[in-house]
Amino acid sequence: MSERRPALQRPGLAPVFALLLLAPPARGDAGAAAAILARADGPRSALSEARMRLRVTTSRTGASAFAGEFTVLVKGPEKLRIEFAAPEDRGKLLLVNGKNAWLILPGTKNPIKVPRSHRVTGGFAVADVARTRFVDDYDAVVERSDTFGGRLCDVLRLTGKKGRDPAFPVLRVWVDREEGRTRKIVFLLPSGKTAREATFDEWGSLRGAPTVTRMTIVDALRPGTTLVEYLDAEKAVLDDALFAPPVTAGAPGR
């Protein structure tokens, strides 16, 4: 009498198990959405305190393209320092510390208070390099599945958590199911209107840290396209003083 075949080897069952593994999360499943989001946040955590070098190219119809390089220092989700590297902008800084942001121009004594959503150039804004972890600032639900760039993705709808104040209150995020990488983000205004879209065109590794290496931003409010290339990135231990505006002469001590 032949030996009974183990259940997992029975013809027809293997494809069923494969389908179960690939099955999409249930629509509106907050637990599944949180797990997907936590996985997608991995690269942000890897470079939560780091020094980066970026090239940003902006283009608009009927205008010459502009390209500039920036040195960016990040320390967690609250501290950011963007140094302008172009010769004509040498000494120009954008500092973010908590909910406060300042623009510092060369040759001036006083920093200029600006909103945290301040644009650096073209469609490139502070939010594009801030190391905010989505799971900290947003609640998520699965809306649907979609194919983007030939990859099967889970589409999540993110809404700002109570007590948090993200730059955009609502996001729609495409996370590819196989690798857990963020592939696209749509930034929405409170009215529901699209403010901008970002596509994460290339992922790679810089000095051993996984990171997006190329992204494209399309601004719906200010027509134009912005290409951001990550040229270098390395983990670093950064002094808090790097993210504080200078104290001007005669100003009260902090």
Distances (CA, A) of 115 to 99, 100, 245: 8, 7, 15
User: pLDDT at position 79, please?
Assistant: 92
How far apart CA 151 and CA 174 sit, in angstroms, is: 10
Considering only CA atoms, which of 88, 53, 102, 66 is closest in space to residue 206?
53
Considering only CA atoms, which of 217, 242, 199 is closest in space to residue 72?
242
Q: What is the pLDDT of residues 10-61, one digit of tens each?
A: 444 444 333 433 556 666 667 899 999 999 988 878 888 999 999 999 888 7
Percent of the chain with pLDDT over 90: 49
Domain ranges of the chain: 26-243
Task: Write phi, then psi, for 131 (nearest 5 degrees).
Answer: -90, 35
User: pLDDT at position 230, please?
Assistant: 94
User: Which element (helix H / strand E) includes 142?
Assistant: strand 138-148
Cα 1 to chain centroid distance, Å, stands at 62
Q: What is the pLDDT of residues 108-142, one digit of tens each?
A: 889 999 887 778 876 777 767 766 678 888 999 99
Q: What is the CATH number of domain 26-243?
A: 2.50.20.10
The four Cα atoms 36, 163, 44, 141 give a dihedral, to 10 degrees, of 20
Report helix, strand or coil for 135: helix
User: Per the structure block, which two tokens stand in for 53?
Assistant: 């070098």
Q: What is the pLDDT of residues 209-229, one digit of tens each?
A: 889 999 999 988 777 899 999
Give the pLDDT band (50/70/90) at residue 201: very high
User: pLDDT at position 131, please?
Assistant: 62
